[in-house]
Amino acid sequence: MEINKKVSEALNSVREKTPLVHHITNYVTVNDCANITLAIGGSPVMADDINEVRDMVSLASAFVINIGTLNSRTVEAMLEGGKRANELNIPVVLDPVGAGATAYRTEIAKRILDEVKLSVVRGNLSEIKTLYGIETQTKGVDSGETIDENADEFTMAKEVAKNFAKKLNTVVAITGAVDIITDGETLYTAHNGHKIMAKITGTGCMCTSLIGSYLGAADSALIAALAGITSMSIAGEVAYENLDKNNEGTGTLKSRIIDGIYNLNENVIIERGRINEE
């Protein structure tokens, strides 16, 4: 319950501070990322041109890099923005969407890791394993692997996350059926969410935007990552429970996830949050 309280305090901080969260993200989910940022209490900006990225990052409380739809123009803006954020001690979160799917995508993700100091890296198991250096399978930009909490793979995933976090001196979050969040020392597993969320494009991207919002207001990157993931997962649960199963589906679900974030409060987090420290 103590960790749920810390997450709820982080939510209150976002809503008090209204952090400006600068995104360079993908055009498939850019509107969803903007709306989820607004719903949690942040202020989104989606400027990706290299001619203004340094100025825009300078105004921000956090910077989100999402490589979902890569092109050479935005890659340079991502790197320039990340370096500017580092100069100003503005936290940066990377979503390495589809790392491992193509050589170019993997190369760019690793280049960002090398050239930008990151506060949080959030990805699925395949993406994180690829960046860590373990051969894996991907299916487009989706994970080819899932985490079974009772399998040896789950133990391996926790070790990969911890070791990678230590190597990068950052927070690594692996999202899936069970989420793993660690700074290399402390490790949390989070157990909220619903499998139907995988049927909606952009739930991972929106989760990263939430982490960016929390990073812009919280003192701890570890708590920010945990709070973003827990918030998204609880909203997904609530959204699914509120569906009329006879005539509503994934379109309504996405809207209700955003509603769930907008209506999220301290009581909901404390009552519903299922977080373990390991």
Angle at CA of residue 57, ends 56 and 58, nearest 5°: 90
Instruction: Determine which helix (DSSP H) or strand (DSSP E) holds 26, and give its type and residue range.
Output: none
Residue 172: what are its φ and ψ, rounded to 5°? Answer: -115, 130
pLDDT (0 to 100) of residue 152: 76
pLDDT (0 to 100) of residue 91: 98
Q: From first to last of its 278 residues, what are the pLDDT tens digits of the chain?
A: 799 999 999 999 999 999 999 999 999 999 999 999 999 999 999 999 999 999 999 999 999 999 999 999 999 999 999 999 999 999 999 999 999 999 999 999 999 999 999 999 999 999 999 999 987 655 554 544 556 566 778 999 999 999 999 999 999 999 999 999 999 999 999 999 999 999 999 999 999 999 999 999 999 999 999 999 999 999 999 999 999 988 999 999 999 999 999 999 999 999 999 999 98
Q: Rounded to an integer, what distance in angstroms lies between the CA atom of residue 178 and that of residue 193?
A: 9
Q: Rounded to an integer, what distance in angstroms lies between the CA atom of residue 228 and that of residue 238?
A: 16
Bind-site residues:
46, 122, 175, 202
Q: Rounded to an integer, what distance in angstroms lies between the CA atom of residue 218 and that of residue 62?
A: 11
pTM of the model: 0.95
Q: What sign for the dihedral angle of Cα 2, 191, 223, 47? A: negative
pLDDT (0 to 100) of residue 135: 72
202 DSSP β-pair partners: none
Q: What is the DSSP letter of 139?
A: E
For the domain spanning 2-277, the CATH number is: 3.40.1190.20
Tokens of 97: 């969407």
* Identity of the residue numbered 40: I
Angle between helices 2-17 and 221-241 (to 10 degrees): 90
Contacts of 82 (CB under 8 A, 6+ apart): 63, 65, 92, 112, 115, 116, 117, 118
Residue 142: what are its φ and ψ, rounded to 5°? Answer: -100, 155
Asked if residues 148 and 160 have their Cβ atoms less than 8 Å apart, the reply is no
Q: Rounded to an integer, what distance in angstroms lies between the CA atom of residue 53 and that of residue 69?
A: 18
Contacts of 5 (CB under 8 A, 6+ apart): 270
Bind-site residues for substrate:
46, 202
pLDDT (0 to 100) of residue 235: 98
Q: What is the DSSP letter of 194?
A: -
Bind-site residues for ATP:
122, 175
For the stretch 189-201, what's the b/e string if a residue is b when 16 or more beta carbons lie within 10 angstroms of its beta carbon? bbebbbebbbebb
* Identity of the residue numbered 43: S
pLDDT (0 to 100) of residue 113: 98
Residue 262: what are its φ and ψ, rounded to 5°? Answer: -60, -40
